Homo-oligomer: A and B are copies of this chain.
Amino acid sequence: MLTVSNLTCARGGVPVLSGVSFEVASGDALILRGPNGIGKTTLLRTLAGLQPALVGTVDYPEDAGAYASHADGIKAALTVTENLQFWADVYEGSGSGRTLRETALEAFDLLDLHNRMGGTLSAGQKRRLGLARLAVTARKVLFLDEPTVSLDRPSVKLFADWLHDHLSNGGIAVIATHIDLGLDAPELDLTPFKAALDQGGSDEAFL
């Protein structure tokens, strides 16, 4: 269960969105829509806890969130397997790392590439690896920023299937995207929440 109430978030000291409220129940996804620059990335970063909310609250079980940004955090000098193993270790400490990794590789069709260096992947292959990272974290609440950029159609399908599984196991996903993912999930258009002027940015004291 993810509850966001009356959230105002800012980028670079300027409030971007305000009064955002929504709830996502376990097993559901929410798709964020809105034109370029409206603040989807900013909202996801705030949800993930990377930046503080100016106003309002974000509530979900502690240590359940995972964030995937425009940038994938793939190390060029590590192989696909090593890249995944690292994140598995970070999120788990120990234990079922190996099997998790294998299933993730399989889910995103990376088995053939498992020994390739991260730097020699094509744009779409990199993206798939970035998504496999998510699978490996085993977190319930996902914040995904344009997850299917550069993916070809079969890969988008792979992702949709994986996400479907994740949701049916009680997961939650908030996804910002411009293209159609083939998911049937409610959409939230952020345009109406565009922050009005002087709404509590760091410059407010000077106005």
Once bound together, how far apart are the Cα atoms of A151 and B125, in whole Å? 20
Query: Shortest CB–CB separation between residue A130 and chain B, in angstroms?
Result: 13
On whether the beta carbons of B146 and A36 are closer than 8 Å, the reply is no
How many protomers of this protein does the assembly include? 2
Q: Given the complex, which residues of B lie within 8 Å of A35, measured CB to CB?
A: 124, 152, 154-155
Judged by a CB distance under 8 angstroms, whether A57 is at the interface is no
B155 and A150 within 8 A (CB): no
CB-defined interface of A118-130 with B at 8 Å, one 1/0 digit per residue?
0011111101100
Contacts of A121 in B (CB 8 A): 37
Which chain A residues (135-169) contact chain B, with CB distance < 8 Å? 146, 149-155
Which size class do A's interface residues fall under?
A: 20 to 34
- Tell me whether B36 and A150 are in contact (CB under 8 A): yes
Q: Is the contact region of chain A dominated by helix, strand, or loop, or is it mixed?
A: loop
Shortest Cβ distance from residue A51 to the other chain B in the assembled complex, whole angstroms? 14
A124 to B35: give the CA distance in the assembly, Å. Answer: 9
Q: Mark A149-191, 1 if CB is under 8 A from B, else 0.
A: 1111111000000000000000000000011000000000000
Do A150 and B122 touch (CB < 8 A)? no
Q: Which one, B37, B41, B151, B179, contacts A36 given CB within 8 A? A: B151
A178 (CB) vs chain B CBs: closest residue:
B152
A interface list, Cβ under 8 A from B = 11-12, 34-37, 41, 70, 120-125, 127-128, 146, 149-155, 178-179
